[in-house]
Amino acid sequence: MAKAKARCRTRWPLRRPRILPFAVVAAAATVLALALFVLQLPLPAPVDFFSHSFSHDRSRSRSHHPYFSRPPYVPAARLEPASDICLKPTPFPFPISNIPLAASHPLTMALAAETTRVVSLFDFSDADVNAHVQEFLRQMSEGLKRDGTSISQIPTYVTGVPDGTEKGLYLAVDLGGTNFRVCSVMLNGDTTFNLTYNKVAIPKDLMVAKTSRELFAFLAKQIELFLREHHADHFESSTRRRHTASTPQGYRDEHIFRLGFTFSFPVKQLGINKGKLIRWTKGFDIPDAIGKDVCALLQAEIDRLRLPVKVAALVNDTVGTLMARSYTSTGKHRSILGGIFGTGTNGAYIEKTKNITKPIEGQYDTTTGEMVVNTEWGSFDNQLNVLPSTPWDRALDGSSVNPGIQMFEKRVSGMFLGEIVRLAVLDMMKNDEVSLFKDIDSSFNDWRTTTNISSESGVLRAWGLDSAILSVAASDNSPELSTLRQELENNLHVYNPSLEDAQSFKAVANAVVRRAARLSAVAIGAVALQSGKLDDPEEEVLDIGVDGSLVEHYPFFRDMIYEALVAVDGIGPEGAKKIRIGIAKDGSGVGAALIALVAQRMEKPGDFLADLRGDIKRSLDAMQANNAIDEPSMSTTALVVGGLIGVAAIAAIWYNRQR
Ligand code: BGC
């Protein structure tokens, strides 16, 4: 032994210089081969098919996976502070010391007569209100029996309302008009909540995009920007975990944000997070989306960006409003209706499930015996059985993207009221007998200046009159209507309007909005009657949550609704007193979060992760199939090259030793 050792000691220094280069090459080659090989190795995973597919995910991720090759950070889209349509400009600085006060003339005869005539066309009497309520109830009942009716009466799969004790952090997005909002909502469990949101205007070209993918990709991108800005920790850690999904510390259901998707268009709901678009409204028009599941469209784009988000609930803004009102209202009276009177109009109310006699597909909780129904009342009386129709209502409908549809909405909601006023005013201007926004004789004008209208004026352009000015007209009760006249100048480029011009404009605008308020009372009154609670002595209050710029900011809009409710047979002054109409803010955020919570409670554990794994496997199988055709597999190349070098190196060592 000792001899042998001695021999070894003496031989080794002699041999080392000749063997070392080969050994180093062999070791390096082996390490290289192993390293390349190990990078392809599957991670240990509990589920067989998943471990297999995930191994490929890792290898792809080094070269092509979006997480590693994602584009540089794109700055957040322009965020606007919460804003409302109705402007309250500061009063016109009047009187100015050395300018004489304007004399207030009555309307000139022809203008006065024409204004009276136009205003009378928007009259909506108590008898009209009653006839409309009866027709509304008839169309509601028709909608509960079958599909394809004017009032769609869509079952929402929401079978209860919250009681204020719900807790948790949820995401909500809101697509329904001119803006897209992404929010995170912390429900505190004590009727309060904290809400963080970003709001971005929807680019006009996306509202009429060629494919729905363009719109939904934009929405998913906004969700990503929001998560990066407001939930960076959660976002980064979830993204990391996604790559270790199979380990015990990896991606689990609780790492995924549940998102409530407030989608405020008519959708045939097929489940709590599934629904097919029936039609677009409010100026949107992307035919390719009709009939598709909007949750799936959004989830697909979210998945493309690998966001830790599951679209858990699909919610109409009216349903969200009803939920938010129920969550925040204290006391024993639960809300029966959520209504929107803003860009569009609609209502969702609680109906007895036994009254919904048309089939309700899929699963829902039957224990409450009730379900929230999304009426889609914007399409009440599309057939014009009773709805009033002035020449300007007809002209507006003809120039809209959806003629013959949303006929109630086109007489009630903010998106359309400005255009009705514009069309009426324009016709008055075209009448040579009538001096509106033009001076026949400048002495008529109390400013002793000449009124003129710019060719750029919104009055001369279709959809150019923003409904916000209607609020200004209603709230300016000064003798000179100075605020309104300033607004006509600033926003509509009508220079030096006379008092008579402003009086006429105000009268027409008020008439159009008053008719809208009384039509709104028709919808609210009909739902109150349908609830059967007006005569129930146990029900002291019928609570109604409403949201939207009209009801929130137009002066006395709610008062005009009450005035009409008093005139409804079966409601009257006593019934109207029982009806409490309250503003429900942030319904589309808080309400959607609440429904996402309900949906989460209905999920079976692991549901989403199973879906996610299935998705990953499918996409990887597809990638693998492509790879097989397109490029030689990197692992095979690496092994062959590394292996050959290793074998050559070992052969060299062996050869040296033999020598
Ligand atoms: C849509 C409704 C929505 C309402 C208010 C209407 O145009 O059809 O789904 O609730 O606008 O946003």
If DSSP states are collapsed to H, E and C, what string results for 53-94? HHHHHHHHHHHCCHHHHCCCCCCCCCCCCCCCCCCCCCCCCC
- Could you list the residue range(s) of the whole structural domain that residue 315 is in? 156-239+252-329+587-601
Confidence bin at 77 (pLDDT 50/70/90): very low
| pLDDT value of position 72 | 33
| pLDDT value of position 246 | 54
Q: Mean pLDDT: which of 29-38, 242-251, 435-444, 633-642 is highest?
A: 435-444
| pLDDT value of position 328 | 85
Point out the ligand 1 atom lying closest to the alpha carbon of residue 318.
10
> Contact at 8 Å (CB) between 567 and 130?
yes
Alpha helices by DSSP H, listed for 340-467, are 391-399, 409-412, 414-430
What's the burial of 4, exposed, middle or buried (CB within 10 Å: 0-12/13-18/19+)?
Answer: exposed
Calpha distance 431→111 (Å, rounded):
10
At 234, which CATH number?
3.30.420.40
Which has more pLDDT, 634 or 410?
410
Q: Looking at the annotation, which residues are catalytic? A: 264, 279, 317
Calpha distance 480→315 (Å, rounded):
46
| pLDDT value of position 58 | 26
Point out the ligand 1 atom lying closest to the alpha carbon of residue 176.
12
Give me the mean pLDDT over the 460-466 stretch: 95
- pTM (two decimals): 0.75
| pLDDT value of position 635 | 44
Candidate of 318, 346, 408 to mutate for ligand 1, largest count of ligand atoms within 8 Å of Cβ:
346
Does some domain include residue 166?
yes
What's the burial of 196, exposed, middle or buried (CB within 10 Å: 0-12/13-18/19+)?
Answer: middle
Q: For residue 606, which of 251, 238, 166 has the smallest C-alpha distance?
A: 251
Minimum CA distance residue for ligand 1 atom 1: 265
Peptide bond into 573 cis (omega under 30): no
Is pLDDT above 60 for 533? yes
| pLDDT value of position 256 | 87
Does some domain include residue 197?
yes
| pLDDT value of position 9 | 32
- pLDDT tens digits, one per residue of 181-211: 999 999 999 989 999 999 999 999 999 999 9
Alpha helices by DSSP H, listed for 465-591, are 468-475, 482-492, 499-531, 549-553, 557-566, 572-578
Does some domain include residue 481?
no
Alpha helices by DSSP H, listed for 257-293, are none
Give me the mean pLDDT over the 40-45 stretch: 36
| pLDDT value of position 309 | 94
- For residue 315, the CA-to-ligand 1 centroid distance in Å is 11
Point out the ligand 1 atom lying closest to the alpha carbon of residue 409.
7
Give me the mean pLDDT over the 651-659 stretch: 63
Does some domain include residue 533?
no
Which token pair is 246? 């199979």
Q: Name residue 347's beta-bridge partners.
A: 339
Minimum CA distance residue for ligand 1 atom 3: 264
| pLDDT value of position 632 | 39
Calpha distance 66→577 (Å, rounded):
59
> Contact at 8 Å (CB) between 195 and 184?
yes
Q: Which amino acid is at 390?
A: T
CB atoms within 10 A of CB 444: 16
Which is it for the CA torsion 639, 640, 641, 642, positive or negative? positive
Candidate of 376, 380, 413 to mutate for ligand 1, largest count of ligand atoms within 8 Å of Cβ:
376
Does some domain include residue 597?
yes
Calpha distance 363→260 (Å, rounded):
19
Minimum CA distance residue for ligand 1 atom 6: 344
DSSP code, position 591: I
Does some domain include residue 87?
no
Point out the ligand 1 atom lying closest to the alpha carbon of residue 406.
7
- Element (DSSP H or E) covering residue 112: helix 109-121
- For residue 507, the CA-to-ligand 1 centroid distance in Å is 28
- The full DSSP string for 294-342 is HHHHHHHHHHHTT-SEEEEEEE-HHHHHHHHHHHH--SS--EEEEEEES
- For residue 373, the CA-to-ligand 1 centroid distance in Å is 13
Calpha distance 575→263 (Å, rounded):
33
- For residue 563, the CA-to-ligand 1 centroid distance in Å is 25
Candidate of 180, 263, 317, 410 to mutate for ligand 1, largest count of ligand atoms within 8 Å of Cβ:
317
Q: Which amino acid is at 574?
A: E
pLDDT above 90 covers what percent of the chain? 60
- For residue 178, the CA-to-ligand 1 centroid distance in Å is 12
Say how many residues make up the chain: 659
Question: Which H, E and C letters describe 628-639, residue by residue?
Answer: HHHCCCHHHHHH
Point out the ligand 1 atom lying closest to the alpha carbon of residue 177.
12
Which is it for the CA torsion 61, 66, 72, 73, positive or negative? negative
Q: Is 197 helix (H, G, I), strand (E, B) or coil?
A: strand
| pLDDT value of position 234 | 80
Calpha distance 528→522 (Å, rounded):
10
> 567-582 burial, b for 16+ CB within 10 Å, e for fewer?
bbeebeeebbebbebe
Does some domain include residue 496?
no
Q: Mean pLDDT: which of 98-102, 561-565, 582-586 is highest?
A: 561-565
Give me the mean pLDDT over the 376-382 stretch: 98
Is pLDDT above 70 for 34? no
Minimum CA distance residue for ligand 1 atom 8: 265
| pLDDT value of position 636 | 43
Which has more pLDDT, 649 or 77?
649
Confidence bin at 444 (pLDDT 50/70/90): low
Point out the ligand 1 atom lying closest to the alpha carbon of residue 279.
8
> Contact at 8 Å (CB) between 315 and 305?
no
- For residue 142, the CA-to-ligand 1 centroid distance in Å is 20
Candidate of 152, 202, 316 to mutate for ligand 1, largest count of ligand atoms within 8 Å of Cβ:
316
Confidence bin at 81 (pLDDT 50/70/90): very low
> Contact at 8 Å (CB) between 532 and 452?
no
Q: For residue 551, which of 581, 523, 596, 589 has the smallest C-alpha distance?
A: 581
Phi, psi angle pair for 262, to nearest 5°: -85, 110
- For residue 486, the CA-to-ligand 1 centroid distance in Å is 33
- For residue 378, the CA-to-ligand 1 centroid distance in Å is 7
- pLDDT tens digits, one per residue of 589-625: 899 999 999 888 877 655 555 555 555 555 556 555 5
Which has more pLDDT, 85 or 255?
255
- pLDDT tens digits, one per residue of 206-239: 999 999 999 999 999 999 999 999 998 888 877 7
| pLDDT value of position 522 | 98
Give me the mean pLDDT over the 258-267 stretch: 95
Using a 6 Å CB cutoff, which residues line ligand 1? 176, 264-266, 281-282, 316-318, 340, 344-346, 376, 378, 409
- pLDDT tens digits, one per residue of 318-370: 999 999 998 887 666 789 999 999 999 999 999 999 999 999 988 888 899 99
> Contact at 8 Å (CB) between 374 and 346?
yes
- pLDDT tens digits, one per residue of 562-580: 999 999 999 999 999 999 9
Does some domain include residue 489?
no
Domain count for the chain:
1
